[in-house]
């Protein structure tokens, strides 16, 4: 957006993934969420039928969007403003600096793993208080820099990551009676028995 002198979505800088993924889970940071700036989206279903839909047609929540089964996002039209003042570049620089100070930027991860619970303490703080930074299963490891990030140390399998997510959920539940819900989406068949999703 900066290249085209547009502003309004700077809060998304540094979030890994695709636009479709960001729409599907209402990605956000620094007080903003992608659906805050959506005008309309185009979706497609398994039969290949495309629909243009307005933002108002979706029930949007914290890291969630109600989407019909077997329907995916193709495109999005965003409500952004013109900014020729270079303010957007300064905002991006500030946000990237804040991210790199507190998050494992540049390391292989899927971004923030768990939604922050409604109980007050952020997921990262609960995980950290459980002493789980550095916990590893196979090639998956809880980041030392930010406890709500799981890193691929180079050879992590999907099973390693899924098992580590379940282990973190189990320990936090035992110590704080809080069930952490992943904000990452698992695609395919579950490889591990135990808690993961938002059932």
The residue annotated as part of the active site, out of 10, 33, 162, 183, is 183
- Residue 183: active-site member: yes
The residue annotated as part of the active site, out of 1, 33, 63, 162, is 63
A 10 A CB-CB count for 132 gives 17
Tokens of 169: 């959920």
- Residue 112: active-site member: yes
Residue 29's nearest CA partner among 80, 126, 95, 85 is: 95
- Contact partners, residue 117, CB within 8 Å, separation at least 6: 123, 126, 178, 179, 180, 181
Instruction: Determine contact, residues 128/41, Cβ cutoff 8 Å.
Output: no
Residue 83's nearest CA partner among 4, 12, 2, 5 is: 5
The residue annotated as part of the active site, out of 1, 109, 112, 143, is 112
SS3 helix, strand, coil % of the chain, rounded to 5? 30, 25, 45
Residues recognised as catalytic? 63, 112, 183
């Amino acid at each position: 957006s900066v290249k085209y002198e547009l502003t309004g979505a700077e809060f998304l800088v540094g979030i890994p993934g695709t636009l479709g993924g960001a729409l599907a889970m209402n990605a956000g940071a620094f007080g903003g969420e992608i659906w805050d700036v959506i005008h309309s989206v185009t979706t497609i279903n398994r039969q290949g039928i495309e629909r243009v839909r307005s933002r108002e047609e979706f029930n949007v929540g914290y890291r969630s969007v109600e989407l019909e089964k077997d329907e995916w996002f193709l495109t999005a039209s965003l409500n952004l403003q013109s900014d020729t003042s270079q303010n957007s570049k300064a905002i991006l620089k500030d946000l990237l600096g804040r991210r790199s100070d507190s998050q494992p930027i540049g390391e292989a991860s899927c971004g923030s793993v768990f939604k922050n619970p409604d109980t007050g303490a952020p997921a990262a703080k609960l995980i950290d208080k459980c002493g789980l930074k550095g916990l590893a299963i196979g090639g998956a490891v809880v980041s030392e820099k930010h406890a709500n990030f799981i890193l691929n140390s180079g050879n992590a399998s999907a099973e390693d990551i899924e098992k580590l997510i379940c282990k973190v959920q189990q320990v936090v539940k035992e110590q704080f009676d809080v069930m952490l819900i992943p904000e990452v989406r698992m695609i395919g068949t579950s490889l591990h028995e135990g808690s993961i999703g938002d059932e």
